[in-house]
Chains A and B, each alone.
Chain A
Amino acid sequence: MAAPLRLKATGASPGVASGPAYIAEPLAAAASLPSSVSGHTELADAIKTAIRELQDLATGTDPESRDIIEFQIEVLQDPTLAEMADARIDAGENVAFAWVGTLDGYIRELECSEEDQLRARAVDILDIKNRVLSVLTGTPVDDFPAGSIYVGKDMEPSRFLAHDWSAGGGIALYAGSAVGHVALLARSRSVPMVIGAGRFATEGGQHIGVDGDSGLVILQTAKEKATPAQFGHPVTSTVSTADNGDLRTADSSQVLLSINVNAPDDVDAIPAATTAGIGLMRSEFAVMSLSDAANEEKQFAIYRRLLAWADGRPVTIRMLDIGGDKPLSGLTEMSSLRGIRLLLARPEIARVQARALLRAAVFGNLRIMLPMVTFPSDVEDIRQIYREESSELARRGVLNRIPPIGMMVEVPAAALMLDAFQSADFFSFGTNDLAQYLVASPREDADFALYQAQAGPALLRLLTQAVKLAGGKPLSICGDMAGDPSRTADLLAAGIRHFSVAPARLPAIRSAIVGLNADGTKAAGE
């Protein structure tokens, strides 16, 4: 039998996996889904579907429940409601937000009513708001069989997140980037991944292997039984150290170690006591469509769940970092804007998230982090939204609290001027974007990794300077650099004392920190 053919690629997430190949459709074909349907039709159809669902529910229930359902159906058929939503759509609002905005207005009215009977109806309206919203939810992405190896030019983060990786499997990309978002997700979930394999011929279902450690794609000539036992996930050392992420360097300086989280169930396997909390929760990976972004209740539930897990430890939720190379399914326009600029340009998105966060903040040690901040006014403008939403919630009698609001430091113009950001309560370095904008190379670019490595000294100089400009405010690092033990010494030397890393990197970074002095030098005797 011929030896397996090995293709040279670049490792993007360590580990070895094999399985039947799944050949992904080109992205262009998948992206051209609805868009031809007008917002009015889309909303009308969603409402019709919701009414049908309610009618099904109504049959076979008691008369009291049926009364409530009949009332909900009647509201869904209300002509003035449809007019208001249509007017918002005509004014350029996205369908989901037009619907949510209209219903929220009505819910607010009911909640503020002097009559108990009317106030009690608010929850019925909330229910139909969410029902229509879930019908409007963006078209589900095609999933592929569990355990297979994804093969394609690139991979969308939503597709990665929608897939069940518990049965193993891996990713082999013709192009792709080691610092792209899917690579980041793959590392955090320990899914083996290689990039830059070039276009190779394989058929769907053919057994192939991915070696993320040595950067190889293995095309089997034999059909089956490629000794599966030898593949699979590397056994990650799960030595739990219940130190609350409160470490000491060899010379007894305090260093905190937190985790980065994407989906809320990321934390399930991790005891909170092995961390100093969540240093970065990328909410855009939990809020994956425009309808999710419009869904205050869903977001509230996600944030509360993380706060419950953290049990009093800090939970830092980064507001939606969407736009640019992180599109939000359903949001087509304004893709050139990213992070906080998009949030400020589309305040209806920011306001829903703000309300969910304000309400969740009552339940634990929540912190809000703003993505891609460039100027102090960015932070002040968002703060204003939080103040407004907080007093509006209070007026409606909804418990809420404005938590500390900090910012990502990932734009050079901000990193150089940290002393000007009085309005930010804390800082966290996002080294991936910072490096990208420092070396003027998009990180989807295959050569970016080379530039990034070369720009190491420039990045460290910028970080060192920024630490001094932070003026003693809490400061951490949550970029990929924080999870690379070969950089720990440099980061300590730059003055960073709080690392937030993917859960899988906890053991490596923990042992790197305790083996070093606070100035980054090796501890004596090592």
Chain B
Amino acid sequence: MSGGLRIGNREAEQVHASCQTEVEVKHGVGLHARPSVTFTRLAKSFPCSIEVAVNGSDVWLNGKSIIKIMGARIRKGSILKIRADGILAEEAIRALKDLIERNFDEEKKHGRTA
């Protein structure tokens, strides 16, 4: 049991990181309710802290807060800086960047009618 714990710790150390990226928003209406929900939900699925700064601003917003993200006036053409700190930071940055580049899966959503 103690062995398992040690392995767990080592793994945690391995993935604990600080990571940052920059990405341009290409979504037509900017980051309104639905894409914001998609973004913060994905952000919240990672244990690390995630922060977002818009268009070179030095104000870092909590990337897990829909209120902050939706209020950040992110539009088509906005440049988002995303930084993550903690466990799975690299994976988080990669996933969020992918989401923005995939246009928040909006096309897929429109196609789906359950």
Contacts and interface: CB of A to CB of B under 8 A. Distances in A.
A79 B114 contact: no
Given A63-B113, A80-B67, A80-B68, A70 B37 contact: yes
B64 to A, nearest CB: 6
A79 B71 contact: no
Nearest to A81: B67
B112 interface: yes
Contact of B65 (A63, A67, A78, A117): A78
A74 B113 contact: no
B99 interface: no
B2 to A, nearest CB: 34
Interface stretch (B4-12, B15-23, B28-36, B85-93): B28-36
B70 interface: yes
Contact of B66 (A63, A68, A75, A115): A75
Contacts of A74: 36-37, 40-41, 66
A79 B68 CA distance: 10
A109 interface: yes
A428 B114 CA distance: 62
Given A63-B113, A117-B29, A71 B67 contact: no
Contacts of B113: 63
Which secondary structure characterizes the binding site on chain B?
A: helix
B17 to A, nearest CB: 22
A118 interface: yes
Contacts of A68: 33
B62 interface: yes
Nearest to B32: A117
Given A63-B112, A63-B113, A115-B73, A78 B66 contact: yes
B69 to A, nearest CB: 10
B53 to A, nearest CB: 16
Given A63-B113, A106-B67, A109-B71, A71 B37 contact: yes
A121 B73 contact: no
Nearest to A60: B114
A74 B36 CA distance: 9
Interface in A64-119: 67-68, 70-71, 74-75, 77-81, 106, 109, 115, 117-118
A71 B66 contact: yes
Given A117-B29, A121-B33, A75 B112 contact: no
B64 A71 contact: no
Contacts of B73: 115
A109 B73 CA distance: 13
Interface in B80-112: 109, 112
B67 A67 contact: no
Nearest to B34: A67
A121 B32 CA distance: 10
B4 to A, nearest CB: 31
Interface residues of B, number: 22
A151 to B, nearest CB: 53
Nearest to B61: A80
Given A63-B113, A63-B114, A79 B65 contact: yes
A78 B64 CA distance: 7
A78 B69 CA distance: 11
Contacts of B71: 109, 118
Contacts of B33: 67-68, 71, 117, 121
Contacts of A81: 65, 67
A309 to B, nearest CB: 39
A173 B24 CA distance: 74
Interface in B31-66: 32-34, 36-37, 40-41, 44, 62, 64-66
Contacts of A71: 33-34, 36-37, 66
Contacts of A115: 73
Contacts of B40: 74, 78
A79 B64 CA distance: 7
A71 B33 CA distance: 6
A497 B31 CA distance: 63
Nearest to A115: B73
B108 to A, nearest CB: 12
B113 to A, nearest CB: 6
Nearest to B68: A80
Nearest to A109: B71
Contacts of B41: 74
Interface string A185-229: 000000000000000000000000000000000000000000000
Interface of B: 29, 32-34, 36-37, 40-41, 44, 62, 64-68, 70-71, 73, 109, 112-114
20 contacts: A63-B112, A63-B113, A67-B34, A67-B37, A71-B34, A71-B36, A71-B37, A74-B36, A75-B66, A77-B44, A78-B66, A78-B67, A80-B67, A80-B68, A117-B32, A117-B33, A118-B32, A118-B70, A118-B71, A121-B33
Given A79-B64, A117-B32, 9 more contacts: A63-B113, A71-B36, A71-B37, A71-B66, A78-B64, A109-B71, A118-B32, A118-B70, A121-B33
For the complex of A and B, list the 10 residue pairs with the smallest distance between their C-beta atoms, beginning with the closest: A80-B65, A71-B33, A74-B66, A74-B37, A117-B32, A78-B65, A78-B67, A78-B66, A67-B34, A71-B37
